[in-house]
Structure 1
Amino acid sequence: MDFSKNGTGSVAVYVINQKLKIAKNRKTLPHVYDNETQKLCLFTPKKKEWNLRRTLIDYIIPWALEWLDFYEHWLISGEWLGGGHDEYATKND
């Protein structure tokens, strides 16, 4: 994984050393900003759940590990249980 803070006061997390697989009954990865770069969606910026005063070790890394745990379940079942946007839980895309 690559964790990078950018100039917008946010952080971006990418899976970089492995191409994530797609569940059999789906066409795209769940809860990512971009399927090609595998940029994970870990929080909602508009809700201000993250800011630069928070540490990566206390927030971003646990969120990334939790995302990967939900991903493993999704890979088997095709159902995203990670919350966030409702369309990821039920939409067959």
Structure 2
Amino acid sequence: MKIKKSPLKQFYAKFNDCLSFFQHTKIISQNTNKRQFTIEGTLSDSSLSRTYEIRVEYSGLTSRSPKIYILNLQTDVPLSQIPHVYGVNDDYIQICLTYPAYVEYRKENVFSESFFLWTVEWLVFFELFEITNTWFGNGIHLEVKKNENENN
């Protein structure tokens, strides 16, 4: 018989998963009652050419996927031309890791076994895009919400 974790235990498991996955982690906000947190940290991997600043926003009371942002992205590619993102502005891009209609995310998912690996994969595809101007990742590319003040 499989014992189901309580929502609060799931929340703390995801919270601790974030703290252990990223380097230089800082807690931006945490609300245990609402089962929400925002964490920022740096991500480097042997498959990546540089270190990235990442923000994770999670809410355990919704069925939505966590939001993953790349902060202060240093690139020669105009931000408005980066594919496979949900939103872009001068400070961050919200990367697209799942297509909501496909229900690729479930609350039971362990972040380090899904979202964090998908984030590294997205960054590999991004670095290839910087070189080739071709997006090698699969999936559906949605219309991007762009900041009207974007200068890139």
Band of TM-score, shorter chain: 0.7 to 0.9
Q: Which structure 2 segments of 5+ residues have no match?
A: 1-53, 143-152
Q: Which has the higher strand share?
A: 2
User: Based on CA coordinates, which of the two structures has the bigger radius of gyration?
Assistant: 2
Out of 108, 115, 134, the position equivalent to 1:53 is 108
Query: Deviation at 1:28?
Result: 1.7
Q: Which structure 1 segments of 5+ residues have no match?
A: 88-93
The equivalent of 1:15 in structure 2 is 70
Percent sequence identity over matched residues?
Answer: 25
CA-based RMSD of the aligned residues comes to 2.1
Count of matched residue pairs: 85
Which deviates the most, 55-64 or 31-40? Answer: 31-40
Query: Deviation at 1:22?
Result: 4.9
TM-score (norm 2): 0.50
Which structure is higher in RCO with an 8 Å CA cutoff and minimum separation 6? 1
Distance 1:33 1:22, change over 3 A: farther
Q: The residue matched to 2:134 in structure 1 has which SS?
A: coil
CA contact (8 A) 1:22 1:28 kept: no
Query: Where do residues 24-43 of structure 1 align in structure 2 (5 Å cutoff)?
Result: 27-36=80-89, 37-43=92-98
Distance 1:72 1:52, change over 3 A: same
State the alpha-carbon separation in 1 of the partners of residues 74 and 68 from structure 2. 14
Letter in 2 for 1:73: L
